[in-house]
Structures are given as structure tokens and as C-alpha cells.
């Protein structure tokens, strides 16, 4: 399965004898809770997963280690996915409210867990609903899956590795420009960015309708940021969520491929800025 699927492709696949498992991961920073949106209406058969509770480990607020959305323990993620009906042979499609930035986190986690047959719905719930496709308030009771989580299939780096990558390759910062420049920091301990990182706001991956840009346009965008095929490249953001969409966009663009994906710094700026010994660059 390609990393992105269209609404029409998903609609067709849902009529197959073995339709994909649908995961609804709608979430908005600061709320309202995604579950409220899910209960109000979702794609038929979709199972809701909560970013904070299901797709991340608890946040260590005292030390900041791991960032605001640390990677979940493999056994915890396995239980969540099995309860959602994900099997070893399942195709999986994940969607969020629209721009794919949160769905990309679920996509990345499944890939990290060793499950390659997973894609993000282009345009998310907004596109599906705008096209008048069926939605429901019925909560499914999926048959328990048998997926085995084998962590490590997607590369990661810690803070030291991120610092090294910013100097030896290209480290992309997926946050909004004003946060990258250090003009504002509404969430994390300090403003600024990792020295040497290049700003690549995740909002630049989509058009005004919330659909992902064509592969050629994404490739042009990354070339303008100094990223080419074969580049040593990684991504971070505030807490490792929207950076996953940069990893996805690099693959959609053909800059990277499933065998050689971009690196993710899961702790991201929330972890980095919690350590006073780590330098912060502003510009």
C-alpha cells in the first residue's frame, strides 16, 4: 500500500472481501478531545485511538525526558492495536481531521512496529465528509487482532543524535516559523530551535483544501531546503507528532523510500528544551 490513499481508493477498498482496518486518530492541541468528534460521526467501522493515551507513553513532566509524547512501550502499543482489530495481515488506513499531521504519527508508529501495510487518508475526515461519503455514529466492536509489535523498523535518534544530524546532514524542524525562530513558545520550556536545524513547517505539505501536494511539488520543496535523494535527513517538531508528517512527506516525494526512511527525533523540542545544557538557536 502507498503511504497516502485517496478517498475514492479507500471507498473502493472498503468494498473488498478483506477491507482495511480504519483508525480514527483525530486530535487537536488544546482540545476539544478527539473522542468527542469521533462519537459525533466517523467513517463506518473506524476505531478511535487517542493520541495521548494510546499512541504515546505518559509524559514525564518533571524531567521532560522523552518529550510531551514519548514513544509508547511496545507491549502497550501491541495491546492497543490488537484491541483495534489489527492483524498481522491487515491493511490499515489512518485518518485525522484533515491535514494528516496526527494520522502520520499513527502511520509512523505502525511502521516503527514492523507493520508496513499502512497508509494515511489524504484529506482526512474533512475530505471524506465534504464529498458526501457515508459516516456513522455506530461504535464498532472489532474482532481482536494478532499483530506482533517488533519495534525499531523506523530509525530514531536521541538528543545527541539530533545534534549530530543537524551538523552532518539536514535536520528539519516541522514547527511553525515563529516557534522555530524563537519569537514565541506557547508550550515548551524555552523558545528557539536545535542549532543547525532547517525550518520545514508541516503545513507546507498540504494545499488550501487540506490535501497533500503532489509528489513533484513536495520534492521541489525539499530540494529548496537542501534535501535531495540520498541526503542524510531527519525531522523533529514539538513532541514528535507533526515531525512524523515530514517523514511521510519525504517518502511521498520520493526523496526517501520505505527501505531508507528519514530519521525521527521522538523527544523533539519538548525534550531538548527541558535540558538547560542544550543550546537553543534563535533567528
Annotated catalytic sites, by residue? 237
Cell of 250: 519525504
Question: Rounded CA gap, 135 and 128, in Å?
Answer: 9
User: What are the beta bridge partners of residue 206?
Assistant: 212
Q: How many CB atoms lie within 10 A of CB 27?
A: 23
Report the interhelical angle of 215-224 vs 243-253 (nearest 10°).
110
Cα(236)–Cα(243) distance, integer angstroms:
5
User: β-strand 4-5 against 118-121: which pairing, if any?
Assistant: parallel
Number of H helices, E strands in the chain: 11, 9
**Backbone conformation region of residue 112, classed left if phi is above 0, alpha if psi is from -120 to 50, else beta:** alpha
Which of these, 213, 194, 192, lies nearest to 202 by C-alpha position? Answer: 213
Task: Give 257's contacts (C-beta < 8 A, 6+ positions apart).
Answer: 251
Taken in order 35, 27, 266, 223, is the CA torsion positive or negative?
positive
Cell (9 digits) for 219: 520534492
Amino acid at each position: 500500500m502507498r503511504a497516502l490513499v485517496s478517498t475514492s481508493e479507500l471507498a473502493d477498498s472498503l468494498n473488498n472481501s478483506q477491507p482495511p482496518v480504519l483508525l480514527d486518530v483525530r486530535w487537536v492541541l488544546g482540545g476539544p478531545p478527539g473522542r468527542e468528534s469521533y462519537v459525533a460521526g466517523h467513517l463506518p467501522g473506524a476505531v478511535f485511538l487517542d493520541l495521548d493515551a494510546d499512541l504515546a507513553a505518559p509524559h514525564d513532566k518533571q524531567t521532560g525526558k522523552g518529550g510531551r509524547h514519548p514513544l509508547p512501550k511496545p507491549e502497550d502499543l501491541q495491546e492497543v492495536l490488537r484491541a483495534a482489530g489489527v492483524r498481522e495481515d491487515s491493511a490499515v488506513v489512518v485518518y485525522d481531521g484533515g491535514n494528516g499531521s496526527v494520522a502520520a504519527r499513527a502511520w509512523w508508529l505502525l511502521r516503527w512496529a514492523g507493520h508496513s501495510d499502512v497508509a494515511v487518508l489524504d484529506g482526512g475526515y474533512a475530505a471524506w465528509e465534504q464529498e458526501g461519503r457515508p459516516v456513522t455514529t455506530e461504535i464498532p466492536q472489532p474482532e481482536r487482532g494478532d499483530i506482533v509489535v517488533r519495534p525499531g523498523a523506523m530509525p530514531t535518534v536521541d538528543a545527541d543524535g539530533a545534534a549530530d544530524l543537524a551538523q552532518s546532514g539536514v535536520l528539519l524542524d516541522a514547527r511553525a516559523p515563529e516557534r522555530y525562530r524563537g519569537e514565541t513558545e506557547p508550550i515548551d520550556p524555552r523558545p528557539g530551535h536545535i542549532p543547525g536545524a532547517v525550518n520545514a513547517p508541516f503545513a507546507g505539505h498540504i494545499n488550501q483544501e487540506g490535501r497533500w501536494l503532489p509528489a513533484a511539488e513536495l520534492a521541489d520543496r525539499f530540494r529548496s531546503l537542501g534535501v535531495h535523494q540520498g541526503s542524510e535527513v531527519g525531522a523533529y517538531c514539538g513532541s514528535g507528532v507533526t515531525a512524523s508528517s515530514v517523514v511521510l512527506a519525504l517518502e511521498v516525494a520520493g526523496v526517501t523510500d520505505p527501505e531508507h526512511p528519514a530519521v525521527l527525533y521522538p523527544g523533539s523540542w519538548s525534550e531538548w528544551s527541558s535540558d538547560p545544557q542544550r543550546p537553543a538557536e534563535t533567528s
